[in-house]
Amino acid sequence: MEEIIRIIKDISDIVWGWPLMILLVGTGMFLTLRLRGLQFSKLWHSLYLALIKRKEDEPSEGDITHFQALMTALAATVGTGNIAGVATAIVAGGPGGLFWMWITGLFGMATKYSEAVLAVKYRITDKFGTMSGGPMYYISKGLGWKWLGVVFAIFAAVASFGIGNMVQSNSVADAVNASFGVPFWVTGLILGVATALVIIGGIKSIGRVTGLLVPVMIVFYVLGALVILIINIKSIPSSLGLVFKGAFTPTAATGGFLGAGVKQAMRFGIARGVFSNESGLGSAPIAAAAAKTKKPVTQALVSMTQTFIDTICVCTMTGLVIISTGAWTSGLDGAELTTNAFNLGLPGDSGGIIVAIGLILFAYSTILGWSYYGEKSIEYLLGEKAVLPYRTVFCIFVVLGSVFQLQLVWSISDVMNGLMALPNLIGLLLLSGVIVRETKNYFM
């Protein structure tokens, strides 16, 4: 078993190597140029549509509102990457890793916008009367390459049981056991039932729950981080200095930090940034396709705020807390490092409690979001008849994930998650003319 895990880990390192990193960020840059920096010029308008207007003024085709579609996508992306992933990027690449996470976010907004344009344009109405869309549909309908759409759907379906299911339930069970002493199987059972009660109602039920849960969990976590940054406000300028300096010059070893070069800062910052916001992976447009809208661009503007909120807001808060408190030199890593940083920033154990609760809510919401991604992928592959069996099996795996050792599951799902990007990026690049045309027609 150890040999199999090692082989798959090696494959994962290849999949998530420099070629994919360059392709992901390069696609974002290419789309930014073609769209003339739309993610910057239309940012405030997109935030208004997403957070204030929230839905169309008149009845439109779709299953859930703009806001609910955004929250469903955020549910899947705001997760362990925002807590453990940021910490890992800083430990491996130094404070400069946070800068390269910002880069993935800024260019990833153009990618996320483009994915949503195509998702809404090429979506279909299934036999249940609900919307189905995403990379498998715009690849098969837009490019006429059904085989490549099938490839994407297979990767996404497998990933939904790993990174979107068992890995998350295991993280929740571990956090609840460490913080409150609850047995792993008890947490798994409760989590499985809680998941079943939501996903049995499909996207409308998921949209309602995430529309309530996601804003609360993000505000709760961000407010905790904000209090720490206010307490350490004198350290913010020097912390930002470390971020910008570390992005372009090596970071020297200090305390428990072993030092890092620019190449490490870039590699781990970009990798963890993409892991966190999922721009280019093709998952989020599956949720965007369900939005009630007449024009693809309207939902696309809303969708691109997902990357802004995830990476520019939440990841930045985590990173600055870790750096400003000095925890990044402690020699710790992952969620343990973030917990230590919050404990240093707040009195008593309140910081650790915030991280623990944040991790639980983030992971649970990720399960809900990814359940829908997997469902639509299975539906594309096997038809509507497979939806109910999929939901049942998905909930069973939530329970199993809480009690099993998951090195193999994590490695396989990590590979599948990375491979999802390849057919999706092909679709985005070859259909970029469609994206530009839809954008011009909307703003004319």
* Mean pLDDT, residues 5-26 taken together: 88
Q: Which of 83, 85, 97 is CA-nearest to residue 243?
A: 97
| 105-158 per-position pLDDT tens digit | 999 999 999 999 999 999 999 888 899 999 999 999 999 999 999 999 999 999
Phi, psi (rounded to 5 degrees) for 383? 95, 170
Contacts of 328 (CB under 8 A, 6+ apart): 90, 91, 95, 257, 322, 337, 341
> What is residue 132's DSSP assignment?
E
Q: What is the structure's pLDDT at 245?
A: 95
Taking each continuous run of H as one helix and of E as one strand, the counts in the chain are: 23, 2
- 418 band by pLDDT with thresholds 50, 70 and 90: confident
d(CA 101, CA 338): 17
Mean pLDDT score of the chain: 92
pLDDT at 57 over 80: no
Assess contact for 224 and 354: CB atoms under 8 A. Answer: yes
Phi, psi (rounded to 5 degrees) for 318? -60, -50
* Mean pLDDT, residues 242-249 taken together: 95
Per DSSP, the three-state class of 179 is helix
* Between 262 and 406, residue with greater pLDDT: 262
pLDDT at 407 over 80: no
Q: Which of 203, 173, 157, 180 is CA-nearest to residue 374?
A: 157
- 12 band by pLDDT with thresholds 50, 70 and 90: confident
Work out the widest C-alpha separation in the chain, in whole angstroms.
60
Q: What is the structure's pLDDT at 258?
A: 84
d(CA 333, CA 257): 10
| 355-396 per-position pLDDT tens digit | 989 989 999 999 999 999 999 999 999 999 999 999 999 999
| 287-323 per-position pLDDT tens digit | 999 999 989 999 999 999 999 999 999 999 999 999 9
For residue 240, the tally of other CB atoms under 10 A from its CB is: 16
For residue 353, the tally of other CB atoms under 10 A from its CB is: 17
Report pTM. Answer: 0.94
Q: Which of 356, 409, 417, 388 is CA-nearest to residue 76?
A: 417
- 408 band by pLDDT with thresholds 50, 70 and 90: confident
- 406 band by pLDDT with thresholds 50, 70 and 90: low
Helices (H), 51-143: 66-77, 80, 86-93, 96-121, 135-137
Helix (H) or strand (E) holding 124: strand 124-125
Q: What is the structure's pLDDT at 16?
A: 84
- 193 forms bridges with which residues in the sheet? none
* Mean pLDDT, residues 223-248 taken together: 96
- 132 forms bridges with which residues in the sheet? 124
Q: Which of 272, 268, 273, 288 is CA-nearest to residue 112?
A: 288
Per DSSP, the three-state class of 140 is helix
Contacts of 61 (CB under 8 A, 6+ apart): 125, 131, 292, 293, 294
pLDDT at 15 over 90: no
DSSP3 helix / strand / coil % (the chain, rounded to 5):
80, 0, 20
* Mean pLDDT, residues 255-282 taken together: 89
For residue 383, the tally of other CB atoms under 10 A from its CB is: 11
Contacts of 398 (CB under 8 A, 6+ apart): 165, 166, 169, 188, 191, 192, 195, 367
Assess contact for 101 and 311: CB atoms under 8 A. Answer: yes
| 180-227 per-position pLDDT tens digit | 889 999 999 999 999 999 999 999 999 999 999 999 999 999 999 999
Does 1.10.4160 match the CATH number of domain 13-443?
yes
Residue with tokens 């009660």: 197
Q: What is the structure's pLDDT at 46?
A: 95
pLDDT at 444 over 80: no
- 17 band by pLDDT with thresholds 50, 70 and 90: confident
Q: Which two tokens stand for residue 111?
A: 């990618």
Q: What is the structure's pLDDT at 147?
A: 97
d(CA 101, CA 278): 12
| 327-350 per-position pLDDT tens digit | 999 999 888 899 999 999 998 788
Q: Which two tokens stand for residue 298?
A: 């309207």
Task: Sketch the domain layout of the chain as residue ranges.
Answer: 13-443
Q: Which of 118, 130, 109, 85 is CA-nearest to residue 24?
A: 109
Assess contact for 353 and 260: CB atoms under 8 A. Answer: no
Q: Which two tokens stand for residue 23?
A: 């392709």
d(CA 38, CA 152): 27
Q: Which two tokens stand for residue 20?
A: 């994919």
Q: What is the structure's pLDDT at 255?
A: 83
